[in-house]
Structure 1
Amino acid sequence: MFASVLDRVFPPDLSRVDAAARVVVDAQGRTLSVLPAPGGVWRVETTASDVPPHLIDLLIAAEDARFARHPGVDPIALARASVQWARAGRVVSGGSTLSMQAARLLEPRPRTLRSKLIEMARALQLEARYGKAGVLRIWLTLAPMGGNLEGVRAGALAWFGREARNLDPAQSALLVAVPRRPEALRPDRHPEAARVARDRTLLVRAASADGISAADRALLASDVPSERRAMPALAPHLSRQAAREGASRTTLDAPLQRALEAMLDRAREGLPGRVSTAAIVADLHTREIRALVGGAWGEEARAGALDLTQAVRSPGSAMKPLLYALAFEDGVARPDSLLDDAPMRFGGYAPENFDHGFTGRVTAAEALRKSLNMPAVLLLDRIGPLRFASAMKRAGAIPRLPPGAEATLPLALGGAGVTLREVVSVTAMLGDAGRAAPLRWRVDDVAGMPAAPVLAPRAAAQVASILTRGFPGGGPSGVAWKTGTSWGGRDSWALGFDAGHVVGIWVGRPDGTPILAETGGATGTQLALPLLARAFSLLPAAPRAQPLVMTRAGAVRNLAAPALGNRLRLVFPAPGASISDGPVTLRAAGGQRPLTFLVDGMPLEGTPARRDTAWIPQGPGHYRVTVLDAEGATATAAVRVH
């Protein structure tokens, strides 16, 4: 009764154990980053389940052979220590149990008789409160490992670059020995002393096993580490976000994260000063982030501490796929609709292309692939800026406008701020049949706010079909991609998806200053797109199903499925198309050349070896367009010219 009252009045102080470093892990439990405890101490919580059984055996054999049989204080060990002290006139062995050592680690005191008595009382209290497992947790977490290292897990990471559970007996013996004199036995400063202490610990185990085996001799011959390793620091930006939000387990994939960071580190070596990079790789369907690089961590000149995946920047043309998908859904245009890329004014707004030139009349599909500005503004004028802004928000990208401003036509060309995380969300929606869902990085996030439909699957599939093409410099196939460049080359973007993943790349200066003049072309195609191709090359080599696309019959199919083969067909115009009066380019696919194009039965002049030809309608009305190949096959479409 008296002991229990004292226990409640003077409870042990476990604040040092609880103030441990934050360990952030990936989806498989692999360590991504370790963030130091307050005061810059690398103190990583460690329990008996975190270390191999042989480490516990070594610890008990070397420090407290009767650990399992005493209540916290070992009278036999104390008596032996007292006799040795009386005979030698000095301390030969301290008689401290692991429980007493744990008490001293919790509350360091001068080495006096009074302190020893307090340690004994605390040892009894610790065992009564927390049992043997609790005592081991305290020792394994607080044992000094040299410098600002505390605990066996921290020691394993710093001295061996591996988790404690993977230590071999020789490595375990070193970590058992170092806490006796942590500064004098640091292997990086005193390797020979560390080796001797380690070997003595191994020999204690060997003696208890009645002899030195061949395996023990091999362990005695192994080297001790000569330098301290850096603590794990993968995904530093997301790891710090996790720590702020009280999370530890993420959806990331450690090997992919490491590879993505290394690829971007190499890429930054060729970029102008202060230019940084950010990237996200996520699962297309679950929206779980598999890798995230927020910037050039550790590079002050590139503002490496900032998480640039959350920086608000202009997307340039990166949001045009959503705009075209809305136009297709609303019936404002179809992929084969002709649009004018020519000088035009919308009130006081006169947009122009990046190269200040104009292409003329093009299909909507061509306009999107070439990222032409005038057709995009024309489509936005038809569907309405407010509808586009609302769709952006529902897809996961909040359009940030200047104070007091409203959504207007410049929205088509990047006239609102978004983040890389948001643009990746929108891109994932286009690749996932028009369904929007937020990106997730915590494994404990509910998987389940169901994805919300933003677009009709057909419209999303049409955009996916248009954007699925090869990378200019080579790279994985089956990827739908789009680039973007903000005004002055301040931001370079590349977004893409295949059937399994969505990837976003941003290149720019954290302070938003232009980089166009310094590179001769700071565009998304030149700076970000090559990185997008490399990022897709890092993804698992599992078979990639191709994105879904829309056939002319209106059915969704997979690009990997058998296509239309070599059958002759009209690519443009499609049956029932309504096209503007003016020059039209008729296009065919398949069949055996030479091809002959006819309108209302009259052949058109053209080059027989080509699969397209020009036609100028005689005026509004209904026409019948036919293509004839060398084997007599035909394909026909009835169209209306307005």
Structure 2
Amino acid sequence: MPALKHPLLRHRRIGYGLAALVIITSVLLALDGILPPPLDRARQTSTLVLDAQGRMLRAFTTPPGVWRLSARSDEVDPLYLRMLLAYEDQRFELHPGVDPLAVVRALGQWCSQGRIVSGASTLTMQAARLLEPHPRTMSGKFGEMLRALQLEQRYRKAEILDFYLTLAPYGGNLEGVRAAALAWFGKEPTRLTPSEAALLVVLPQAPSRLRPDRFPERARAARDKVLLRMAQLAILSEQQVIEARQELLPTHLRSLPFLAPHLAERLRTTQPATVIHRTFIERGLQHTLETLARQQQSTLELNSSLAILVVANRDRRVLAYVGASDFHDSRRAGQVDLVRAVRSPGSTLKPLVYGLGFDDLLIHPETLIEDVPTRFGDYSPTNFRNTYAGQLTVREALQQSLNIPAVAILEQVGPARVAARLREVGLPLHWSKAHPQPGLPLVLGGVGMTLEELVTLYVGFANGGLIAPLWFSPTDPAGSEQRLLTETACWYLGEILRSAPVPQNVVGPASVARPRVIAHKTGTSYGFRDAWALGYDADYTVGVWVGRPDGSPSPGYYGRNTAAPLLFRVFGLLPEPAGQPVAPPPDAVLRVQREQLPERLRYFRTRPARETVNAPPLTLTFPVAGSTVELPERDGVWAELPLSAKGGVKPLHWLVNGRPLAAAPWRREAFWQPDGAGSARITVLDQVGQAASAEVWISRGE
């Protein structure tokens, strides 16, 4: 009977064992599903901003303040990987996460010598500990082994190695081999010397004790130990080891790349969930311009700064973005992004006003215009130097940036219309409390704009009048083009601005490396608070702002002597246009002498102030400029709109949208009956040539 019982017991034990194995396996599988490997630390990497070629411009620390740069095994030097595996885990490709041979060896040494002689940690176990830090206890080590087995079941060997390469500590707040290579050697880990690779292999073993900037002898001994081990394993030759041991260790931590910091901060703020921000920044150009900006500080007023923006015309890619002269200079408000600061644009809007005048057939480049003291209602502008040129051509008036002709043209184009057109193409003007509505001071800087907005406008001039947002990143939404000016008007502007006189202090090889055809315009705001220079050629548009970030004046510093030299130096750093430097004129361009122009384009009349000295200022009291007027409408017939003026010298004459209105000339009131809803420009003229205008919107009311 006992003999019969024995096989049954054996089978029963086997059955119990298999059942236990099934239960254990089921429990482990259930735990694997319930407690997956924690990957939060591997995913919480530093936000990176990259240039057009994918190179780092700037990195941001993780919330705990750690430089943790994602790294992959195919992005590091193969020699470093060979040395790492040979030194840390020679059977990495063979074991399932835990190396049984290493465990047996470590236990044997511990039993025979009563202390730990060598560890049994595999790279997978180290990756598990880096993903889920825990105390170095026996229970912690056991949990680490389970996590290692779990990682091996879920991920490929290359992915596990990536966890280690991203999270391994290298001293201070450095984590990951990429951050370590940049901070210790000032380069990416794609090409490392044997000495550098050996140091990066050993540093994670004791990152605080082996820091070469603090404990150079310890670091050298640890590095040399790795090198000698590599020679024993025939990974390095004896000569390579000798040369590597003679190589000096780094003595300090380098700063990680720090270029285009304002753009980087802008992208991170607008897209906080994005880890990798790609840009179109040309790294070499950006570095050169930031260096140039810091050098230029010495020529500026105390606490002054500057901003530079460079854009490729064809697709509006932003190639360089300098938001301040020195990001780290708090005296100059270096961390304020002056590319986006609202400032007075000075005279930089004059080309737009002239362009609208070209499109309205009010003027031609050869039209004669007066630059004499003139009063426009109660507004009496003066020129920059309080001198007047008399009669000259529109071309000369824009090239010399004279104020009286620009205001005279704006008076007929309409400031409300200028503001509305800019708003329609996505460039709304910023109004101050002193000038809350569009008025004639607009053309002389009586509004607010940013460097980014002005550069967008000038890129539009370069692209034949089409306006679209600038393109900072490939992830930016594609903005649709909207027409602001005709190609003909832009061609006139380009021809005029290209032949504008270049300031004397920018002529010469030190400022312009190669001669090129540049259309440029300078501007200076009231009180010398802002100095501007905008320019474009066939391929690029450049904008420069110089001033004090707090808006205080810088007497004697204006666009022509401060911003223009920098503008031309920037163009000297850009490649020459690949195609024709100047586009051929459109068919509608009139390239004729003044005598051959149509009669109405030969002369643009401005009335000198001496004719109005004794006349009370003429003002339009109703309707108010920029307002919306609701009028009743029945069966297609609109109610009349009352018009009212004050001051001036009778008789008065009224115009609506440029057409005379039948009205009693000896009264200061008139009535106009619209024929539909829409914009209307109302003008009143008096006997001595004063004029007042308002642009309003007519809508249907009750």
TM-score (norm 1): 0.84
Alignment check: 8 A CA contact 2:318 2:472 kept: yes
Aligned 8 A contact 2:531 2:557 in 1: yes
- Would the aligned equivalents of 2:366 and 2:602 in 1 still touch at CA under 8 Å? no
| 1:579 equivalent in alignment to 2:609 | no
How far does residue 112 in structure 1 lie from its aligned partner after superposition? 1.4
On the 8 A contact 1:173/1:201 being kept in 2, the answer is: yes
Alpha-carbon distance, 1:128 to partner: 1.7
Given the alignment, which residue of 22, 31, 46 partners 1:21? 46
Distance of 2:118 and 2:263 partners within structure 1 = 48
Contact 2:310 2:318 in 1 (8 A): yes
Q: Confirm or deny: 8 A CA contact 1:498 1:545 kept in the other structure.
A: no
Match of 2:545 among 494, 498, 506: 506
Which of 203, 220, 227 is the matching residue for 1:178? 203
Distance 1:128 1:553 in 2: 72
Work out the CA distance in 2 between the residues paired with 1:301 and 1:101: 47
| Structure-1 residue corresponding to 2:351 | 321
State the one-letter code of the partner of 2:449. Answer: V
Matched, 1:354 2:384: yes
Give the CA deviation at 1:213. Answer: 4.2
Counterpart Cα distance in 2 of 1:342 and 1:209? 89
Kindly report which structure 2 residues correspond to 1:552-563, keeping only aligned pairs within 5 A, or say none.
Answer: 554=589
Ranges in structure 2 where 5+ consecutive residues have no aligned partner: 1-25, 607-702
Is 1:535 the counterpart of 2:570? The answer is yes
Please state how far the C-alpha of 1:484 moved relative to its aligned partner.
0.8
Superposition deviation, residue 130 in structure 1:
2.4
- Corresponding letter in the other structure for 2:307: A
Name 2:129's counterpart in structure 1: 104
Question: Are the aligned partners of 1:464 and 1:549 in contact in 2 as well (CA < 8 Å)?
Answer: no
Q: Residues 552 and 98 from structure 1, CA distance in 2 versus in 1: closer, same or farther, beyond 3 angstroms?
A: closer
1:8 deviates by 2.3
Match of 2:335 among 305, 308, 314: 305
Instruction: Verify the 8 A CA contact 2:184 2:250 in the aligned structure 1.
Output: yes
Q: How far did residue 248 of structure 1 move? A: 1.0
2:254 aligned to which of 211, 216, 229: 229
In structure 2, the partner of 1:417 is 448
CA distance in 2, matches of 1:339, 1:284: 32
- Counterpart in the other structure of 1:615: none
What aligned pairs does 1:401-550 form with structure 2 within 5 A after superposition?
A: 401-402=431-432, 405-446=436-477, 448-469=478-499, 471-472=502-503, 473-474=506-507, 475=512, 476-516=515-555, 521-541=556-576, 543=578, 545-548=580-583, 550=585
Moved more, 423-432 or 391-400: 391-400
Question: How far has the Cα of 1:113 moved from its partner?
Answer: 1.1
Q: Residues 534 and 542 of structure 2 are in contact (CA less than 8 Å); yes or no, is this contact kept in structure 1?
A: yes
Over 3 Å counting, the alpha-carbon distance change for 1:366 and 1:555 in structure 2 is closer
Q: 1:344 to 1:581 in 2, by over 3 A?
A: closer
Partner of 2:97: 72
Structure 1 residue 405: Cα displacement: 2.6
1:542: Cα distance to partner?
A: 5.9
The CA distance in 2 between the partners of 1:416 and 1:130, in whole Å, is 60
2:279 paired residue among 244, 250, 253: 250
Residue 266 of structure 1 deviates from its aligned partner by: 0.3
SS of the aligned residue for 1:361 comes to strand
Specify whether residues 92 and 329 from structure 1 end up closer, same or farther in structure 2 by C-alpha distance, changes over 3 A only. Answer: same
2:140 is matched by which residue type in structure 1? Answer: S
Correspondences of 1:125-144 after superposition (within 5 Å): 125-144=150-169
Q: For residue 160 of structure 2, what is the amino acid of its counterpart?
A: V
Deviations 1:108-156 (CA, angstroms, capped at 9, x unpaired)? 2222111111111111112222232232122111111111111101001
Q: Where in structure 1 are there 5+ consecutive unaligned residues?
A: 557-569, 584-642
User: What is the CA–CA distance in structure 2 between the aligned matches of 1:549 and 1:415, rounded to whole Å?
Assistant: 35
Task: Flag the 1:395–1:535 CA change in 2: closer, same or farther, 3 A.
Answer: farther
What is the rounded CA distance, in whole Å, between the counterparts of 1:329 and 1:213 in structure 2? 79
Give yes or no for contact 1:506–1:528 (8 Å, CA) kept in 2: yes
Question: Which residue is equivalent to 2:184?
Answer: 159
- CA 1:358–1:542: 2 relative to 1, 3 Å: closer
Superposition CA RMSD, Å: 2.2
Counterpart Cα distance in 2 of 1:325 and 1:547? 18
Is 1:81 the counterpart of 2:106? The answer is yes
Contact persistence 1:471–1:533 (CA under 8 A): no
State the partner residue of 1:92.
Answer: 117
Q: 1:283 corresponds to which letter in structure 2?
A: A
**Residue in 2 aligned with 1:562?**
none
Residue deviations 1:38-64 (CA, integer Å, cap 9, x gap): 122111111212212222211111101
Return the match for 1:268 from 297, 302, 305: 297
Distance 2:30 2:231 in 1: 44
Structure 1 residue 318, shift from structure 2 partner: 0.7
Aligned to 2:407: 377
Given that 1:431 and 1:547 are in contact with CA atoms closer than 8 Å, whether structure 2 keeps it comes out as: no
Contact 2:594 / 2:602 at 8 angstroms: preserved in 1?
no
Contact 1:428/1:502, CA 8 A, preserved across alignment: yes
Q: Give the aligned partner of residue 42 of structure 1.
A: 67
Q: Is the 8 A contact 1:27 1:443 kept in 2?
A: no
Q: Which residue of 1 aligns with 2:6?
A: none
C-alpha distance 533-396 of structure 1, shift in aligned 2 (>3 A): farther
For 2:109 and 2:195, how far apart are their aligned partners in 1?
A: 30
SS in 2 for 1:548: coil
Letter in structure 2 aligned against 1:471: V
Question: CA–CA distance in 2 between the matches of 1:375 and 1:549?
Answer: 28
SS across alignment from 2:523: strand
CA distance in 2, matches of 1:206, 1:370: 75
Q: d(CA) in 1 for partners of 2:281 and 2:604?
A: 54
Number of paired residues? 565
TM-score by length of 2: 0.77
Matched AA of 1:16: R
Larger Rg computed on CA atoms: 2
Q: Which amino acid aligns with 2:602?
A: I
